[in-house]
Structures are given as C-alpha cells and as structure tokens.
Amino acid sequence: MSNSPTPSTRMDQFVALSSVLTGFTQDTLAPQLDPTDPPLKKLYLEAADKSSTQTVDALLAAFANLSGQPAQTIANTLLEVDSTNPTANALMARSILKLWYLGSWYAPTSLIATDGTVVAMNAYIGGLAWSAMQAHPMGYSELKFGYWNSAPPPLSGVLPPSEANHG
C-alpha cells in the first residue's frame, strides 16, 4: 500500500496512537531504554496485525489525519465512544486499548471479559490496568513487606501532561 506508513515509522505511529488511546505516556508504553525482550510494542503491533494489517493501517491513517487535535479528542474519535455501531477501525482501536490495559488480546468483535488470550508473561505484568488503580499485577510485586498498610504513591508520571480542559 503506497500510502501506508513506512516500516520504520509505523512502529512509532503505533506507539503514539497507543499513548493517545490509553492515556499513558509513550515513555511508559515504550521506554527509550526498554529491557523487555521482545518489547511489548512489538508484540502488540504483531497481535493487531495478525488480526488485520489492513485495519491497523487504516487506523494509523485515521490517527495521522487527526494530528494536532487534543489527545482526548483523538481517542474519543478513534474509539467512537458515542457510537452504538462502531466501525472496524474503532473495534481494532478498542482491542489495542484492551491489550495495553490487560496484556490480553481480545478479538475486535469480543465483548466478553473472559475472552482474552494472554500475549506473553511480560504482557500480563505490564498491564496498565494495574497502574491505573495504583496497584501491581497480581502475582508480581516489586514492593516491600507491609507496603499495603500505607496509601500508594499518587497516580502520576505515567500520564502525559494534562491538555486543555477536555471536559
């Protein structure tokens, strides 16, 4: 496809898209120094491509077209949050979003929470849902004895700087 992003930037586009969809910084999703082998971004783009490369390309193109808009607006548009009849693009966006949050791939048609397939051990422990609730993956903690007796550090650092009020 002549208008699809070139391979070297396609991954960058995917990470940028993922950041907007998830609400987490690109550096959280794909750190500049990333010892995870293979990196989650690679596993996740592969999982999405395996479902439909064409839809992933279309989604990336739609994302590129929205460049310059506030992140929340882009996320809402691509996820079609107000639609009762989402397009293939939006369903793909939602699967990618679930993948980052839960480390599991859900077929774009799935509406069932137990339908996911764990993509990799690192995907499970890298799930953003755990960060969103200021906790750690069940079965994987880097914290110290007794930490549960105190409130967690504030939810911060993992989200991009706040944009203009997005309601």
158 binds other proteins (CB under 8 A): yes
What DSSP designation does 104 have?
Answer: E
Strands 117-118 and 104-105: antiparallel
Among 5, 31, 61, 66, binds other proteins (CB under 8 A): 31
Nearest distance, CB of residue 45 and other proteins, angstroms: 18
Contacts of 34 (CB under 8 A, 6+ apart): none
Nearest distance, CB of residue 40 and other proteins, angstroms: 12
7 binds other proteins (CB under 8 A): no
Give 17 or 45: the residue with its C-beta nearer to other proteins.
17
Residue length of the chain? 167
23, 107, 118 from 48: Cα distances, Å: 19, 9, 14
107 binds other proteins (CB under 8 A): no
Nearest distance, CB of residue 150 and other proteins, angstroms: 8
6, 128, 158, 163 from 132: Cα distances, Å: 33, 6, 9, 19
Give 3 or 32: the residue with its C-beta nearer to other proteins.
32
C-alpha to C-alpha distance for 113 and 126, rounded to whole angstroms: 18
Judge whether 145 and 52 are in contact, CB under 8 Å: no
| Listed ranges 3-11, 50-58, 59-67, 150-158: which one lies at the site for other proteins (CB under 8 A) | 150-158
Strands (E) located in the chain: 104-105, 117-118
Query: Where in 40-99 is the site for other proteins (CB under 8 A)?
Result: 71-72, 74-76, 78-82, 84, 93-94, 97-98
| Listed ranges 2-10, 44-52, 55-63, 154-162: which one lies at the site for other proteins (CB under 8 A) | 154-162
Lay out the site mask for other proteins across 117-136 (x = CB under 8 A, - = otherwise).
Answer: xx-xxx-xx-x-xx-xxxxx
6 binds other proteins (CB under 8 A): no
